[in-house]
Amino acid sequence: MTLKRRELLAGTAAAGVLLGSPTVLRAQNAPIRIGEINSYSTQAAFLGPYRNGWNLALEEANAAGGIDSRRLETLFRDDAGKPEDAVRHAGELVAAEKVDLLAGGFLSNIGLAVAGYAKQNKKLYVASEPLTDAIVWSQGNRYTFRLRPSTYMQAAMLVEEAAKLPITRWATISPNYEYGQSAVKWFKELLVKKKPGVQFVAEQFPALGRIDAGATAQAIAAANPEGIFNVTFAADLANLVRQGNTRGLFERRAVVSMLTGEPEYLDPLADEAPEGWIVTGYPWDQVNTPNHVKFREAYRRRFNDYPRLGSVVGYDTVNAIVTMLRQSRTTDTEKMVDAMEGLKFQSAFGDVEFRKIDHQATLGAFVGKTKLVNGKGTMVDWRYADGKDYLPSDAEVAAMRPKDA
């Protein structure tokens, strides 16, 4: 990470300096404090750009006068990938630092642990990244909201494309933890519903971060599927792509792959990025909607780097919080929660709403094909899949969510 926490805090305090020393602010101008908990030390590749996006939005909000002339500030905490540490930080941020709300989360179980804390202690928690469906459905609660399109939503987007292919024999490769398991579960369930008669002939669940790529590729090839649904990412993905390419695993086979189009995962593959995979992702250089152009240019100016998907998630988490605060005009938790329910805000990808029914945002993802251009992987033939079109019916959602949520 190029930016140090202290520098960032100093940066975010810049607007505050204009009002005088931050420590002697008058009470009504006391800053609004957001406690942000994430796995900075263990998921650094994803969370560095995320934090940049976060700070960009925060600086914009403070430059625009903050909320009723109260500026916003963030206290970042590193949970080192452990849910129990995240809960400790949540307690510390609420009890000692008196933050007004909590946000963050990358790993699903950490999101769930903090959501549990939020429910027990009646604090607003805006979960930005965790993909698990449970956080808004089976374990949903009044105080927790989630921004990113969930495992279900991304699987539904890919099923739509997979169902169009003239093939019926599928195999799946997926990391052996909740995200991988539920991605496969939804992909199977939704694809069979959409296209009865499809078969799943092989399943591989390599341990996360420790794939034995040669053996896994071989085991998939042995079942001779026509299509492969891949959920691995990061280092596992790179291993699989190298072994698969060399062994011809992907030749004459359709590959549908989750998250692979995100620059976080596509860029490290450099000139070995796969071609023709159907993926969800983020073609940052080609999205030219007004909101996104504004965001991309501001991001480049500020950090001299291009945005990753994590940057968008960080940026939009703050945008959502700022919009909510402008509506609620208070940091009373119950009123903030009421404002979050049904909140409409402008994201870098366009209009997004936090649904009242399950607290899931309708932020979407881009679905397209991978292609090598000038020795780098990119997405082509993409479209924006609006999250609101890829969620189950309200009745199904209501049945999954606890009654008291």
Partner 1 sequence: MSALAVQFLNGLASASALFLVACGLSIIFGVSRIVNFAHGSFYMLGAYLAWTFTRGLGWVGYGPLGFWGGILAAALIVGLIGVLIELVLLRRIYQAPELFQLLATFGVVLVVQDVTMAIWGAQDLLGPRAPGLRGAIDVMGQRFPQYDALLILIGPVVLGLLWLLFNRTRWGTLVRAATADREMVAALGVDQRKLFTSVFFLGTFLAALGGGLQLPREPVQLHMDMAIIADAFVVVVVGGMGSVGGAYLAALLIAQLQAFMLLVPDFEIAGLTISIAKMTLIPSFLVMAVVLIARPYGLLGKAPSHARTQASVEPVVRVTPPLLAKFGFATVAALILLPLIADEYGLMVATEILIFVLMAASLHFMMGPGGMASFGHAAYFGLGAYGAALAAKHFDAPMEAGLVAGPVLATLGGILFGWFCVRLSGVYLAMLTLAFAQIVWSIAFQWVAVTGGDNGVLGVWPSIGKTGFFYLSLALAVVGVLLLRRAIYSPFGYALRGARDSALRADAIGIDVKRVQWTAFAIAASFAGLAGALFAYFKGSVFPTYAAIPKSVDALMMVLLGGVQTISGPLVGAAVYMGLHEQLVRATELWRLVLGIAIIALVLAFPQGIAGFAAKRWAKEDGA
Residues at the contact surface with partner 1, assessed by CB under 8 A:
1, 4-5, 40-42, 44-45, 48, 77-78, 80-85, 87-89, 91-92, 95-96, 108-109, 112-113, 116-117, 119-120, 132, 134, 139, 176-178, 181, 203-207, 209-210, 212-216, 218-219, 221-222, 234-235, 238-239, 242-243, 246-248, 267-270, 272
| Nearest to partner 1 of 117, 366 (CB atom) | 117
Q: Dig out the tokens for 264 from the structure.
A: 């976080």
Q: Contact, 394 vs 357, CB < 8 A?
A: yes
CB of 205 to partner 1, least distance (A): 5
Residue 318's φ and ψ, nearest 5 degrees, are -65, -40
The dihedrals phi and psi of 251, each to the nearest 5 degrees, come to -75, 140
**Smallest separation, CB 48 to partner 1 (Å):** 5
Nearer to partner 1, 270 or 293 (CB): 270
d(CA 312, CA 320): 12
Report the C-alpha gap between 183 and 167 in whole angstroms: 20
Q: How far is the CB of 264 from partner 1 (least distance, A)?
A: 8
Which residues sit opposite 281 in a β-bridge? 261, 366
Residue nearer to partner 1 on the CB measure, 48 or 307: 48
Give the burial class of 214: count Cβ atoms within 10 A of its Cβ; 0-12 exposed, 13-18 middle, 19 or more buried: middle
Q: Residue 233 or residue 295: which is nearer to partner 1 going by CB? A: 233
Smaller CB separation from partner 1, 206 or 227 = 206
Least CB distance to partner 1 at residue 53 (A): 15
Q: Which is closer to partner 1, CB of 210 or CB of 383?
A: 210
Smallest distance, partner 1 to C-beta of residue 40, A = 7
Instruction: Write down the H helix ranges in 125-223.
Output: 151-162, 178-194, 213-222
Contact between 205 and 179 (Cβ < 8 Å): no
Separation of alpha carbons 128 and 117, rounded Å: 16
CB of 158 to partner 1, least distance (A): 22
For residues 233 and 258, give the distance between their C-alpha atoms in angstroms, rounded to a whole number: 8
